[in-house]
């Protein structure tokens, strides 16, 4: 479900023609639908109505502070993975009592920052990290609430780069070592063990990996109870997939229905960390065709957006639907590679894609770009990062302006020994 649709052959976001937005802010740009964001969040939240739960939106999917504010107003917390994300979350007004902190490489200063902010808990990924958190908490005189992240060794059947719950992955603590780590943790003076965490991967299109993971974790919670370690929070992570092409991922309701029976006797607060399923289809990236270029081997459509603006096709070989902003009247089609201006062969948005014929100047919408789109953008090739626009009904709000050339060199200095120019 999303609010990008055609009216009289023109693509709209809610009540605003994409063409108008592109004229006003230029291309490339990201465009998000307020209504879609709200709907997706509420669909998730309401699906779990019957279970006491907290949604900690995984902000690495899209961390613009306007999006975070919107989520916070809907009652969301945040799943963070860095001090920078903590800064954004707090700046946006996400209550620290709903912030959870994951990641295998938390630094001492990030731990300090999070303790100072009084976040809900750390999702701890190793014995070394546990030791560090205990030490920092001791120095600060602030006890640290933690969950241990369990790696259940489950194949989520997704792209290897976004699969996180297999034995060979760097994430979490192996299930068979978990009990020992929990015991270690409870013995540490500045640590309060409050939860179990698990996140097995992203873009999951089946429910069984979720339930299989739970079936590994629930006996552990039972064992812990017997040992006198009371688990108050069960965090089952994020990972629910979305439709990029023809996937039919489970609805949050299906996820809730699948996990609810398993949780019946458990007196835990459930924490969920959806990212992609909230924002993915709530955003698009709009780009303009520069050239049609034909070589002996291929036909290329060169556009003004590149891998630095949207990395997913290059990084994961990800598929994004590409649509004409103005539906062409003719029926001519072409099979093309849609590529950007960056000096890398890996710079493409689509390969061997059958689309209606394009002309220079045409606007194209790269669909399902709301998650892991702008947040993965870089300045590679000294390309300023593109603007982000939030549409609400007829309203157009620029929630991040386009960077300019001065932004590109901010923080850089020429040392004094190089002061004279040639
Ligand atoms: C990335 C991540 C998520 C969100 O995953 P989605 O697939 O975007 O829902 C949730 N929890 C953790 C720990 C993550 O690293």
Residue 194 pLDDT grade (very low, low, confident, very high; cuts 50, 70, 90) = very high
Show Cβ contacts of residue 169 under 8 Å, excluding neighbours closer than 6 positions: 151, 163
Helix ranges (H only) for 293-391 are 312-316
Note the pLDDT of residue 164.
80
CA of 203 to the centre of ligand 1 (A): 9
Please state, in angstroms and rounded to a whole number, the distance separating the CA atoms of residues 346 and 188: 48
Q: How confident is the model over 61-73, as pLDDT tens digits?
A: 999 999 999 999 9
Q: Is the CB of 237 under 6 A from ligand 1?
A: yes
Please state, in angstroms and rounded to a whole number, the distance separating the CA atoms of residues 400 and 385: 10
DSSP state of 205: -
Residue 198 pLDDT grade (very low, low, confident, very high; cuts 50, 70, 90) = very high
Selection from 37, 13, 31 nearest residue 286 by Cα: 31
322 backbone dihedrals φ, ψ, rounded to 5°: -125, 125
Ligand 1 atom at minimal distance to the Cα of residue 277: 9
Note the pLDDT of residue 349.
98
Q: How confident is the model over 344-397, as pLDDT tens digits?
A: 999 999 999 999 999 999 999 999 999 999 999 999 999 999 999 999 999 999
Q: Is residue 247 pLDDT above 80, yes or no?
A: yes
Please state, in angstroms and rounded to a whole number, the distance separating the CA atoms of residues 154 and 212: 7
Selection from 314, 306, 285, 303 nearest residue 373 by Cα: 285
Report, as an integer, the average pLDDT of 137-157: 94
Residue 413 pLDDT grade (very low, low, confident, very high; cuts 50, 70, 90) = very high
Q: Is residue 52 pLDDT above 90, yes or no?
A: yes
Show Cβ contacts of residue 19 under 8 Å, excluding neighbours closer than 6 positions: 10, 11, 325, 326, 363
In a mutational test of the pocket of ligand 1, which residue from 79, 122, 243, 318 has the highest number of ligand atoms less than 8 Å from its CB? 79
Q: Is residue 168 pLDDT above 90, yes or no?
A: no
Note the pLDDT of residue 154.
87
Please state, in angstroms and rounded to a whole number, the distance separating the CA atoms of residues 282 and 269: 28
In a mutational test of the pocket of ligand 1, which residue from 199, 242, 368, 376 has the highest number of ligand atoms less than 8 Å from its CB? 199
Q: Is the CB of 239 under 6 A from ligand 1?
A: yes
CA of 220 to the centre of ligand 1 (A): 22
Note the pLDDT of residue 1.
72
Q: What is the CATH number of domain 34-277?
A: 3.20.20.10
Q: Is the CB of 276 under 6 A from ligand 1?
A: yes
Per-chain mean pLDDT for the chain: 96
Residue 156 pLDDT grade (very low, low, confident, very high; cuts 50, 70, 90) = confident
Note the pLDDT of residue 3.
96
CA of 164 to the centre of ligand 1 (A): 9
What percent of the chain has a predicted confidence (pLDDT) above 90? Answer: 92
Which residues form the catalytic set? 343
Q: Is residue 106 pLDDT above 90, yes or no?
A: yes
Ligand 1 atom at minimal distance to the Cα of residue 274: 9
DSSP state of 230: -
- Assign 3-class secondary structure to 336-385: EEEECCCCCCCCEEEEEEEEECCCCCCEEEECCCCCCCHHHCCCHHHCCC
Report, as an integer, the average pLDDT of 334-340: 97
CA of 169 to the centre of ligand 1 (A): 15
Q: Is residue 161 pLDDT above 90, yes or no?
A: no
Show Cβ contacts of residue 353 under 8 Å, excluding neighbours closer than 6 positions: 322, 335, 336, 337, 338
209-227 exposure pattern, b = at least 16 Cβ within 10 A, e = fewer? bbebbbebbbebbeebeee
Note the pLDDT of residue 169.
86
Distances (CA, A) of 230 to 191, 211, 266, 399: 14, 22, 11, 43
In a mutational test of the pocket of ligand 1, which residue from 275, 316, 371 has the highest number of ligand atoms less than 8 Å from its CB? 275
Q: Is the CB of 40 under 6 A from ligand 1?
A: no
Residue 191 pLDDT grade (very low, low, confident, very high; cuts 50, 70, 90) = very high
CA of 241 to the centre of ligand 1 (A): 11
Residue 420 pLDDT grade (very low, low, confident, very high; cuts 50, 70, 90) = confident
Taking CA atoms only, the protein residue closest to ligand 1 atom 10 is 238
In a mutational test of the pocket of ligand 1, which residue from 121, 239, 241 has the highest number of ligand atoms less than 8 Å from its CB? 239
Selection from 35, 21, 37 nearest residue 286 by Cα: 21
Q: Taking the domains of the chain in order of start, what are their residue ranges?
A: 4-31+280-409, 34-277
Please state, in angstroms and rounded to a whole number, the distance separating the CA atoms of residues 354 and 364: 14
66 backbone dihedrals φ, ψ, rounded to 5°: -70, -40
Q: How confident is the model over 274-333, as pLDDT tens digits?
A: 999 999 999 999 999 999 999 999 999 999 999 999 999 999 999 999 999 999 988 899
Note the pLDDT of residue 166.
80
Ligand 1 atom at minimal distance to the Cα of residue 273: 10
Q: Is the CB of 340 under 6 A from ligand 1?
A: no
Q: Is the whole-model pTM more than 0.95? A: yes
CA of 58 to the centre of ligand 1 (A): 5
CA of 102 to the centre of ligand 1 (A): 9
Please state, in angstroms and rounded to a whole number, the distance separating the CA atoms of residues 144 and 419: 49
Contact 195, 234 (CB under 8 A): yes
Domain range 4-31+280-409, CATH architecture: Beta Barrel (2.40)
Report, as an integer, the average pLDDT of 208-212: 95
Residue 41 pLDDT grade (very low, low, confident, very high; cuts 50, 70, 90) = very high
Dihedral over alpha carbons 111, 117, 122, 128 (to 10 degrees): 10
């Amino acid at each position: 479900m999303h609010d990008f649709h055609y009216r009289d052959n023109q693509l709209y976001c809610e009540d605003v023609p994409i063409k108008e937005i592109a004229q006003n802010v230029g291309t490339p740009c990201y465009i998000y639908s307020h209504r879609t964001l709200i709907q997706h969040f509420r669909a998730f939240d309401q699906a779990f109505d019957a279970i006491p739960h907290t949604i900690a939106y995984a902000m690495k999917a899209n961390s613009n502070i306007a999006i975070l504010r919107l989520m916070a107003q809907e009652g969301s917390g945040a799943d963070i993975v860095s001090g920078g994300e903590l800064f954004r979350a707090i700046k946006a007004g996400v209550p620290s009592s709903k912030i959870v902190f994951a990641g295998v490489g938390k630094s001492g200063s990030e731990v300090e920052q999070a303790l100072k902010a009084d976040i809900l808990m750390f999702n701890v990924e190793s014995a070394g990290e546990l030791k560090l958190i205990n030490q920092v908490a001791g120095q600060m005189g602030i006890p640290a609430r933690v969950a241990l992240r369990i790696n259940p060794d489950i194949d989520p059947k997704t792209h290897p780069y976004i699969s996180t719950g297999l034995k060979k992955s760097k994430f979490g603590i192996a299930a068979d070592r978990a009990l020992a780590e929990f015991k270690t943790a409870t013995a540490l003076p500045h640590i309060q063990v409050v939860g179990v965490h698990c996140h097995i991967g992203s873009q999951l299109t089946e429910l069984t990996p979720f339930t299989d993971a739970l079936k590994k974790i629930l006996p552990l919670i039972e064992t812990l109870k017997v040992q006198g370690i009371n688990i108050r929070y069960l965090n089952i992570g994020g990972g629910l997939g979305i439709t990029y092409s023809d996937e039919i991922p489970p609805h949050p309701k299906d996820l809730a229905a699948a996990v609810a029976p398993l949780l019946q006797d458990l007196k835990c607060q459930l924490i969920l960390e959806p990212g992609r399923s909230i924002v993915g289809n709530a955003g698009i990236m709009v780009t303009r065709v520069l050239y049609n270029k034909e070589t002996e081997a291929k036909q290329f459509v060169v556009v003004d957006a590149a891998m630095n603006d949207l990395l997913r096709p290059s990084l994961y070989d990800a598929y994004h639907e590409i649509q004409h902003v103005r539906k062409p009247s003719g029926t001519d089609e072409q099979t093309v590679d849609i590529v950007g201006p960056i000096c890398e062969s890996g710079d493409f948005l689509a390969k061997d894609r059958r689309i209606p014929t394009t002309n220079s100047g045409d606007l194209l919408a790269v669909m399902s770009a709301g998650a892991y789109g702008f947040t993965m953008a870089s300045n590679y090739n000294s390309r300023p990062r593109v603007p982000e626009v939030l549409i609400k009904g007829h309203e157009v709000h620029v929630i991040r302006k386009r960077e300019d050339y001065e932004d590109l060199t901010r923080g850089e200095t020429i040392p004094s020994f190089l002061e004279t120019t040639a």
